[in-house]
């Protein structure tokens, strides 16, 4: 199959679209026309030269590139952690010339346009980029059974036809299923899940990733996890805050879109901001009135020091710091008088903080040594937050993305409860992160269901679930932890990457590569040549959302409807088509995997789309659909009346629920509960916030990796600050004296977008290090450094700044690993080379606890600037 017109097979990373740019367009005038302009310049403009493309003249009124096409609402479909924006692509003859964002409505502070970030605007760079997978490919030295497995990641690729690719994939899956059973296939994605369900299941992975320990601990103690449920008030209520504490969050990077605009509105309304973070990040740069640098993984200790201060200094009459009324009515476990049923009275938070339980008072002095914040400052911080009535005590997931931090959310909640910062206007405690950043409350709008019937045979038959931190060990050593005291053997023969980016995005990447070289078959479905694809045997190119029929996504108060922008690129196909074709070859009914037409699915979502009624009362249909609309769409359905016409929604691609203060659409988390805890109990066993929570303690124990107390006891995390020492008590540093943080980096959403040249240029993958640490190692910005952990080593240019704490270093997560075969060094700075797979607690990934050493690199490997690097896709092979 030939390529679509205008595609350059060997295009470097940067797009060349100069063809469309008429740089010398003439405004229809000779030099004389501008006489009198240009501040009296003498117009010695010279004659036309023989080689002139056009008459030299006045510069045209701008290069008019964008003519002759149309704007199509386009998807931005990645798990960015931001607001979920609308894009629009300008399409001329199947070519996208430019991408813009929401300009469909007036932009006002209360109802702002849903403006996209740099990544979304650079979407064209990956859809049409040189790393797009174009054709099915097979690794040259792969044979059924594995062939030369050790060559995975280094082998050459052969282009094969779809028929051949599907045939040999089906045959190999069938062989492995037949010989080794369903428990021999590890499925690390989801787009073929229907297929594997039909085949009797496959082994899957589990474990909290981005959400850290909030995933399990949050709901168990009564707070939202910040993912499916928030504990955050409505965004307009932020403007009622006097103080906003952002503890371990950087929305300017990790939650892009309007979120920083909402915080800026709060600042303009008078709120002060405190940032508690090892990094004076860009959010702090913009908002912070006070920055409290704290070592990674020690937030819990800092919070304990603050709690001690409150207990120590509280005087209900003269210095009320603690909201005893709230503690007594709304929580259990704070003191021995308010314990949940069955709990030991000694296991209360107060006695633990004061040292009566373990003999160690959690004084600010005790905390200072661990967290790096001086004791007087801890005291001032506690007083300031406690005394400011309308305070939002907010955190992102990062501090919980540390080993052994299962009690941290509970400690955070304890602090909020002690100060009573919950359930009232301008007061909230909980997670402000991801799509829920700076906004909370029930959704005000949503799409309808797709109408796809549930699969026959569901629920899915899963043969085994392996924790992310044991994945590669399970492949290599044939054993995994099923639950506490239950180690099971397993014989994995195939790895299927149907979506996701597991090899790059799970801790222990080098071990992961080893595991990939161990199995008999590795299959990847993706649209780019990412790390998964690189270490595979067969690669199947899938379409992006820009090549699919429609896409619906929104957030609390808006819904976007993106349409197909371009035809499928090269030979890319939808995942569902691949699933059906593989299913057919494996004896399943393909119709079961493609039950509805994309048009019908789209109609169902539109017809079912709803929007909240005036003053928050009830729901109404969003879209008016006429008989004619239904005829044009060629679908089954009934006409309906809604708030906007189908034509308007189709053209704009977005509907934003108009907001203003007092519109009845606001939300104060836990408001009813605070007023009447008995009448509106939480979903915890006690119906209250559980500062003593047996549920989470039992849950962590049952997982089988470690144990925690039912109250928030600080445990030095694996690979935390304490492990930077050989002898912590005597202060003797060890071989890995620095703490590594792995940031959500602006260049990417996790690993997506890493190959986009515009973004590579704007956001180099740099290793961030404090000036003092750099000086001690004789390093200057731009030097190439070798960063070593216990698990691997990467090379990166260093960026030296005062904005990060001494002793702490940082690197953005998600760079596509580029492991040098000779040395085993990763040239790209993939953080999971440094982060080891280390299962703790609830089986979450502890990415922000990792100890490293940094040295100047003087070896033979040379690094080019990221955006000058050639594409990862092997050129010429396909």
Partner 1 sequence: MNLFHEWPLVIFTLMVQVAVGSCLAILGVRGMLWAAGASPPDYGRLKASGEGSHEVDAAPLPEEGAPGAMPWDQRPFLLVGVLTALGLGISLLHLGAPLNAIRTLSNIGHSWLSREILAGLMFLGLWAVNFHLDRRPPATPWLRGAFLPALALAGVLLIWSMARVYMLPARPLWDSWLTLASFFLTTILLGAVAMAAYLERVLPLRFGFPDLSPATRSRLLPRPRPALLAVGLAAVVAQLGVTLSHPVTAELRSSGAGTALTNARGLLLLAGACLVIAALARPALADDARSETRKPKPWATIALLLLLASEAVGRMLFYAVGATDSF
Partner 2 sequence: MAAPLGFRMDASACIGCRSCVIACKSKNGLPPGTHFRRIIEYGGGTWIPDPEDPTLLAPSGIFAYCLSLSCLHCEEPACVPACPTQAIQQRPDGIVLIDSGRCTGCRYCEWACPYGALAFDSSTGRMIKCDLCVDLVDGGEEPWCVTSCVTRALEVGPIQELRARHGQLDALAPLPSGEQTLPRLVITPHPHGQPAGQGTGRSSNPERDLR
Binding site for partner 1 (CB under 8 A): 41-42, 44-46, 49, 51, 780
CA-nearest of 753, 764, 750 to 796 is 764
Residue closer to partner 2 by CB (options 270, 376) is: 376
- Which partner in partner 2, partner 1, none is near 658 (CB below 5 to 8 A by kind)? none
What are the tokens at 98?
């430019």
Residue closer to partner 1 by CB (options 453, 856) is: 856
What are the tokens at 70?
């149309």
Residue closer to partner 1 by CB (options 160, 779) is: 779
Residue closer to partner 2 by CB (options 748, 803) is: 803
Quote the least distance from Cβ 662 to partner 2, whole Å: 23
- Which partner in partner 1, partner 2, none is near 377 (CB below 5 to 8 A by kind)? partner 2
- Which partner in partner 1, partner 2, none is near 140 (CB below 5 to 8 A by kind)? none
Quote the least distance from Cβ 860 to partner 2, whole Å: 16
CA-nearest of 374, 385, 375 to 289 is 385
Query: Beta-carbon neighbour count of residue 485 at 10 Å?
Result: 9
- Which partner in partner 2, partner 1, none is near 556 (CB below 5 to 8 A by kind)? none
Residue closer to partner 2 by CB (options 111, 118) is: 118
Distance CA 555, CA 85 (A): 9
Residue closer to partner 1 by CB (options 46, 618) is: 46
Q: Are strands 391-395 and 428-431 parallel, antiparallel or unpaired?
A: parallel
Q: 446-483 burial by CB neighbour count: b if 16+ within 10 A, else e?
A: bbbebbeeeeeeeeeebbbebbbbbbbbbbbeeebbee
CA-nearest of 417, 677, 443 to 558 is 443
Quote the least distance from Cβ 189 to partner 1, whole Å: 44
Distance CA 599, CA 549 (A): 7
Quote the least distance from Cβ 281 to partner 1, whole Å: 22
Non-local (6+) Cβ contacts of 49 within 8 A are: 56
With contact defined as beta carbons under 8 Å apart, do 521 and 172 qualify?
A: yes
- Which partner in partner 2, partner 1, none is near 757 (CB below 5 to 8 A by kind)? partner 2
CA-nearest of 468, 467, 472 to 515 is 472
> Is 70 buried (19+), middle (13-18) or exposed (0-12) by CB count in 10 A?
exposed
Quote the least distance from Cβ 829 to partner 1, whole Å: 24
Quote the least distance from Cβ 49 to partner 1, whole Å: 7
Whether residue 459 is preceded by a cis peptide bond, meaning omega within 30 degrees of 0, is yes
CA-nearest of 281, 287, 368 to 802 is 281
Residue closer to partner 1 by CB (options 638, 778) is: 778
Residue closer to partner 2 by CB (options 432, 695) is: 432
Quote the least distance from Cβ 661 to partner 2, whole Å: 19
- Which partner in partner 1, partner 2, none is near 171 (CB below 5 to 8 A by kind)? none
- Which partner in partner 2, partner 1, none is near 452 (CB below 5 to 8 A by kind)? none
- Which partner in partner 1, partner 2, none is near 210 (CB below 5 to 8 A by kind)? none
Quote the least distance from Cβ 42 to partner 1, whole Å: 5
Quote the least distance from Cβ 14 to partner 1, whole Å: 17
Distance CA 246, CA 78 (A): 25
DSSP bridge partners of 689: 331
Long-range CB contacts (within 8 A, 24+) of 474-479: 474/186, 475/186, 475/515, 475/518, 475/519, 476/511, 476/514, 476/515, 476/518
Quote the least distance from Cβ 783 to partner 1, whole Å: 12
Query: Beta-carbon neighbour count of residue 112 at 10 Å?
Result: 19
Helices (H), 65-161: 118-121, 124-127
Residue closer to partner 2 by CB (options 69, 806) is: 806
Residue closer to partner 2 by CB (options 104, 706) is: 104
Residue closer to partner 2 by CB (options 165, 260) is: 260
- Which partner in partner 2, partner 1, none is near 54 (CB below 5 to 8 A by kind)? partner 2
With contact defined as beta carbons under 8 Å apart, do 115 and 258 qualify?
A: yes
CA-nearest of 98, 31, 38, 108 to 64 is 98
Quote the least distance from Cβ 40 to partner 1, whole Å: 10
Residue closer to partner 2 by CB (options 264, 482) is: 264
Residue closer to partner 2 by CB (options 302, 697) is: 302
- Which partner in partner 2, partner 1, none is near 487 (CB below 5 to 8 A by kind)? none
CA-nearest of 252, 300, 299, 296 to 273 is 252
Distance CA 15, CA 759 (A): 13
What are the tokens at 564?
């197909």
Residue closer to partner 1 by CB (options 42, 459) is: 42
- Which partner in partner 2, partner 1, none is near 824 (CB below 5 to 8 A by kind)? none
| Residues present in the chain in total | 878
For residue 369, give Cα distances in angstroms to 341, 723, 725, 731, 738.
Answer: 36, 14, 13, 10, 16
Q: What are phi and psi of 617, to 5 degrees?
A: -90, 120
Quote the least distance from Cβ 106 to partner 2, whole Å: 12
What are the tokens at 123?
């979407």
Residue closer to partner 2 by CB (options 552, 763) is: 763
What are the tokens at 333?
């476990």
Quote the least distance from Cβ 373 to partner 2, whole Å: 8
Quote the least distance from Cβ 44 to partner 1, whole Å: 5
Quote the least distance from Cβ 35 to partner 1, whole Å: 15
Sheet with 70-74: list strands edge to edge.
70-74, 87-92, 95-101
- Which partner in partner 1, partner 2, none is near 728 (CB below 5 to 8 A by kind)? none
Distance CA 297, CA 408 (A): 9
Residue closer to partner 1 by CB (options 49, 732) is: 49
Rg (alpha carbons) of the chain, rounded to whole number: 29
- Which partner in partner 2, partner 1, none is near 51 (CB below 5 to 8 A by kind)? partner 1
Residue closer to partner 1 by CB (options 51, 315) is: 51
**How far is C-alpha 863 from the geometric centre of its chain's CA atoms?**
27
Quote the least distance from Cβ 797 to partner 2, whole Å: 6
- Which partner in partner 2, partner 1, none is near 738 (CB below 5 to 8 A by kind)? none
- Which partner in partner 1, partner 2, none is near 778 (CB below 5 to 8 A by kind)? none
841 Rama sector, left if φ>0, alpha if ψ -120 to 50, beta otherwise: left
Quote the least distance from Cβ 644 to partner 2, whole Å: 23
CA 714, 717, 722: angle at the middle one, nearest 5? 95
Q: What is the DSSP letter of 749?
A: B
- Which partner in partner 2, partner 1, none is near 141 (CB below 5 to 8 A by kind)? none
With contact defined as beta carbons under 8 Å apart, do 575 and 547 qualify?
A: no
- Which partner in partner 1, partner 2, none is near 483 (CB below 5 to 8 A by kind)? none
């Amino acid at each position: 199959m030939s390529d679509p017109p205008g595609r350059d097979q060997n295009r470097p990373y940067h797009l060349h679209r100069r063809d469309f740019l008429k740089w010398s367009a003439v405004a229809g005038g000779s030099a004389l026309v501008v006489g009198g302009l240009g501040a009296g310049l003498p117009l010695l403009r010279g004659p036309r030269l023989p080689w002139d493309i056009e008459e030299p003249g006045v510069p045209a009124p701008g290069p008019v590139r964008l003519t002759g096409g149309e704007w199509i609402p386009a998807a931005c479909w990645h798990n960015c952690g931001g607001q979920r924006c609308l894009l629009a692509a300008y399409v001329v003859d199947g070519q996208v010339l430019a991408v813009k964002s929401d300009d469909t409505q007036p932009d006002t502070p209360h109802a702002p346009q849903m403006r996209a970030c740099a990544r979304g605007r650079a979407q064209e760079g990956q859809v049409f980029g040189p790393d797009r997978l174009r054709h099915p490919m097979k690794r040259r030295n792969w044979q059924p059974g594995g062939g030369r497995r050790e060559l995975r990641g280094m082998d050459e690729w052969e282009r094969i036809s779809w028929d051949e690719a599907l045939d040999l994939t089906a045959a190999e899956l069938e062989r492995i299923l037949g010989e080794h059973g369903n428990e021999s296939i590890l499925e690390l994605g989801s787009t073929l899940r229907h297929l594997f369900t039909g085949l009797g299941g496959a082994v899957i992975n589990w474990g909290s990733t981005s959400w850290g320990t909030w995933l399990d601990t949050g709901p168990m103690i009564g707070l939202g996890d910040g993912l499916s449920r928030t504990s955050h008030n409505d965004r307009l209520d932020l403007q009622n805050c006097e103080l906003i504490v952002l503890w371990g969050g950087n929305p300017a990077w990790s939650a892009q879109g309007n979120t920083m605009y909402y915080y800026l509105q709060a600042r303009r309304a008078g709120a002060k901001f405190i940032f508690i973070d090892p990094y004076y990040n860009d959010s702090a740069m913009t908002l912070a009135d006070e920055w409290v640098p704290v070592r990674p993984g020690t937030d819990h200790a800092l919070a304990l020091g603050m709690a001690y201060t409150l207990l120590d200094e509280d005087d209900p009459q003269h210095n009320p710091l603690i909201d005893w009324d709230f503690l007594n009515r709304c929580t259990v476990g704070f003191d021995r008088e308010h314990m949940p049923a069955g709990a030991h009275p000694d296991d209360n938070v107060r006695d633990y903080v004061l040292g009566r339980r373990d003999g160690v008072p959690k004084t600010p002095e005790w905390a200072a040594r661990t967290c790096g914040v001086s004791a007087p400052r801890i005291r001032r911080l506690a007083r300031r937050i406690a005394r400011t009535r309308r305070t939002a005590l907010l955190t992102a997931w990062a501090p919980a993305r540390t080993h052994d931090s299962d009690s941290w959310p509970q400690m955070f909640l304890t602090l909020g409860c002690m100060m009573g910062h919950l359930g009232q206007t301008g007061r909230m405690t909980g997670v402000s992160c991801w799509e829920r950043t700076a906004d909370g409350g029930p959704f005000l709008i949503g799409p309808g269901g797709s109408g796809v019937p549930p699969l026959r045979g569901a629920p899915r038959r899963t043969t085994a679930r392996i924790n992310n931190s044991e994945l590669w060990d399970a492949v290599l050593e044939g054993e995994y932890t099923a639950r506490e005291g239950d180690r099971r053997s397993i014989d994995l023969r195939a790895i299927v990457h149907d979506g996701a980016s597991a090899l790059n995005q799970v801790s222990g990447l080098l071990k992961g590569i080893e595991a990939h070289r161990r199995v008999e078959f590795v299959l990847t479905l993706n649209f780019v040549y990412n790390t998964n694809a690189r270490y595979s045997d067969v690669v199947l190119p899938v379409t992006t959302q820009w090549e699919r029929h429609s896409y619906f996504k929104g957030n609390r108060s808006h819904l976007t409807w993106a349409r197909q922008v371009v035809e499928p690129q090269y030979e890319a196909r939808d995942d569902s088509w691949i699933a059906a074709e593989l299913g057919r070859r494996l004896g399943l009914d393909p119709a079961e995997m493609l039950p509805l037409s994309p048009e019908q699915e789209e109609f169902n979502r539109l017809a079912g789309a709803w929007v909240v009624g005036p003053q928050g009362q009830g729901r109404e249909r969003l879209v008016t659909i006429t008989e004619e609309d239904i005829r044009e769409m060629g679908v089954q359905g009934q006409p309906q009346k809604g708030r906007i016409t189908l034509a308007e929604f189709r053209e704009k691609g977005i509907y934003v629920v108009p907001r203003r203060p007092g519109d009845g659409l606001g939300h104060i988390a836990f408001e009813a509960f605070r007023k009447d805890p008995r009448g509106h109990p939480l979903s915890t066993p006690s119906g209250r916030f559980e500062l003593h929570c047996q549920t989470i303690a039992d849950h962590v124990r049952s997982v089988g990796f470690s144990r925690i107390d039912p109250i928030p006891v600080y445990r030095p995390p694996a690979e935390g600050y304490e492990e930077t020492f050989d002898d912590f008590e005597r202060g003797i540093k060890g071989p890995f004296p620095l703490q590594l943080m792995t940031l959500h980096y602006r260049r990417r959403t996790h690993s997506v977008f890493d190959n986009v040249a515009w973004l590579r240029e704007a956001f180099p993958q740099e290793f961030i290090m404090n000036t003092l640490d750099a000086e001690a190692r004789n390093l200057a910005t731009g030097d190439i450094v070798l960063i070593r952990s216990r698990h691997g080593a990467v090379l990166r240019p260093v960026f030296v700044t005062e904005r990060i704490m001494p002793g702490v270093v940082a690197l953005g997560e998600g760079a596509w690993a580029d492991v040098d075969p000779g040395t085993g060094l990763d040239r790209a700075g993939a953080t999971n080379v440094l982060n080891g797979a280390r299962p703790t607690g609830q089986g979450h990934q502890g990415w922000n606890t990792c100890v490293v050493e940094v040295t100047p690199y003087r070896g033979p490997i040379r690094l080019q600037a990221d955006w000058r690097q050639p594409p990862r896709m092997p050129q010429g092979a396909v």
